[in-house]
Structure 1
């Protein structure tokens, strides 16, 4: 029995309702202990900022190592990197302002996310199957045949990413004076659209 195999794609847009931010603080000292002591003092003012509601510290990563100038040791460096998840986007601007005012070595974000994407994936799956069927019907008509029953369906992985029309934004470390909170209003950090894409491959019988 003849069959036709088609691919279908379903895409659904949702507004991001969660954001992730990465921030790093770095200090140097003549010894490892001195570098760590300076780092401890530097992040002491940062930790209370991370305790606000709607902000979750996903990870704290400490790195301590010696600096080298050729074959000679030239002091030490210590850094602490935070990965933050912001569930309450109303907190995002104030959080970023406070972090930048604390003079991080670098800050990247926000990376936009969906807190729950199951419903969007199901809708995209329906669109993918409909797309595959429309394509199969077109081939059947072109052959002067009728589309029969579905024989096989291969389900691809659901993928989530930022829409190309609204690319993700990254922030560099702020260069103002210590303790000065920058104005974040002009950076346009509104939640962007997330595109959930599902692809499938379907095989259908062709009837005379």
Structure 2
């Protein structure tokens, strides 16, 4: 079969494989699943008061309790990092003065990003944080401490996937794969964080947590020459 006919057949089959000037290009995907062994939690406090200082003082007091609680739970200082501090005016848009909506107070917030390396204690830690006043829990993201092996395995599977599809299409078109011209990687991805809201935790001593599993994906593109 001539190369021009190969190109038409491959484009008609998927659109991800095509032949051009005696070559075939194929994309491959590899996915590896694993149980997480750590979590990253964003937790903090938000308070509103009539003055900026009062709002920030309330937040600072709560965050101090959060840090003490984390330390008592075995979280190391290197795993705690301030991730956001805000102070915003609060206005009543139902009443106005010369400067626009009337200023009624200030809202202050302080958030801390925490790595929890012991997942068995994650639910208890979250419950303890809510108990000391944490009212701003943005999310829990599960992760693995050493993703390199997972990444490498996903890359291998992506190459296998690309070759298997390329061989299938080449056989269907009546040609053979030649030498590899190039291999390129187009990145990887992780699952989106599992979101948890403080409102659902308020009456819980230990927060129920389901870690599930992680999926790490690798994508490659391989170009082969077609054998004569």
Which residue pairs with 1:124 in the alignment? 154
Distance 2:226 2:106 in 1: 71
Q: CA deviation at 1:110?
A: 1.9
Q: Does 1:140 align with 2:167?
A: no
Distance 1:37 1:5 in 2: 61
Rate the CA distance shift 1:5–1:67 in 2: closer, same or farther, 3 A.
Answer: same
Q: Does 1:78 align with 2:105?
A: no
Where 1:157 maps in the other structure, the secondary structure is strand
> Does the CA-based 8 Å contact 1:132-1:200 persist in structure 2?
yes
Rate the CA distance shift 1:183–1:85 in 2: closer, same or farther, 3 A.
Answer: closer
Rate the CA distance shift 1:60–1:198 in 2: closer, same or farther, 3 A.
Answer: closer
Q: Does 1:19 align with 2:49?
A: no
Number of residue equivalences: 197
Largest Rg, 1 or 2: 2
Which residue pairs with 1:45 in the alignment? 65
Q: Does 1:111 align with 2:137?
A: no
CA-atom RMSD, angstroms? Answer: 2.1
Deviates more, 1:142-151 or 1:55-64: 55-64
Which residue pairs with 1:62 in the alignment? 85
Distance 1:40 1:134 in 2: 58
Which residue pairs with 2:4 in the alignment? none
Q: CA deviation at 1:128?
A: 0.7
Distance 1:43 1:198 in 2: 39
Higher helix share: 2
Rate the CA distance shift 1:169–1:27 in 2: closer, same or farther, 3 A.
Answer: closer
1:3 to 4, 23, 29: 23
Q: CA deviation at 1:60?
A: 4.6
Q: Which runs of 5+ in 1 are unaligned?
A: none
Which residue pairs with 2:9 in the alignment? none
Which residue pairs with 2:197 in the alignment? 171
Q: CA deviation at 1:53?
A: 2.2
> Does the CA-based 8 Å contact 1:54-1:91 persist in structure 2?
no
* TM-score calculated relative to the size of structure 2: 0.77
Q: CA deviation at 1:169?
A: 4.5
Distance 1:26 1:13 in 2: 37
Which residue pairs with 1:157 in the alignment? 187
Where 1:136 maps in the other structure, the secondary structure is helix
Structure scoring higher RCO (CA < 8 A, sep ≥ 6) equals 1
After TM superposition, the runs of 4+ consecutive aligned structure 1 residues lying more than 4 A away are: none
Where 2:133 maps in the other structure, the secondary structure is coil
Q: CA deviation at 1:95?
A: 0.7
